[in-house]
């Protein structure tokens, strides 16, 4: 599997060792699946690696999700309010 971008994917699909990448029955955009025959020698491996790295220069990092644990926050607030009542 290699992420090569839309233009390179369209170009590479015509190669007999390459096809669209499917995941859960859907085509993964910008990804190709390379068969074992397409990775037999060093030149082939270098081609797919350089193609994927060239596309990687133009990708953006995904936004990180902020994880919040509401139960933990609620317990902390209860402790704070409990101690503030005791010491006030």
Q: What is the pLDDT of residue 75?
A: 76
Locate the domains of the chain by residue range: 2-87
Q: Per-residue pLDDT for 28 more than 60? A: yes
Give the residues across from 31 on adjacent strands: 3
Q: What is the pLDDT of residue 29?
A: 87
Q: Per-residue pLDDT for 79 more than 80? A: no
What tens digit of pLDDT does each residue of 11-22 get?
A: 889 999 999 988
Q: What is the pLDDT of residue 87?
A: 64
Report the pLDDT averaged over residues 67-87: 70
β-pair type (2-3, 18-23): unpaired
CA atoms lying within 13 Å on the CB side of residue 4: 22
Residue with tokens 């599997």: 1
- Taking alpha carbons only, the member of 5, 56, 4, 1 closest to residue 23 is 1
What tens digit of pLDDT does each residue of 41-76 get?
A: 899 889 888 888 888 877 777 777 766 666 777 777
């Amino acid at each position: 599997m290699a992420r090569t971008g839309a233009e390179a994917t369209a170009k590479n699909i015509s190669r007999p060792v390459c096809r669209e990448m499917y995941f859960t029955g859907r085509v993964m955009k910008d990804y190709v699946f390379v068969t074992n025959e397409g990775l037999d020698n060093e030149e082939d491996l270098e081609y797919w690696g350089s193609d994927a790295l060239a596309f990687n220069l133009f990708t953006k990092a995904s936004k990180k999700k902020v994880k919040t644990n509401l139960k933990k926050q609620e317990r902390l607030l209860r402790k704070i309010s409990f101690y503030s009542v005791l010491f006030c």
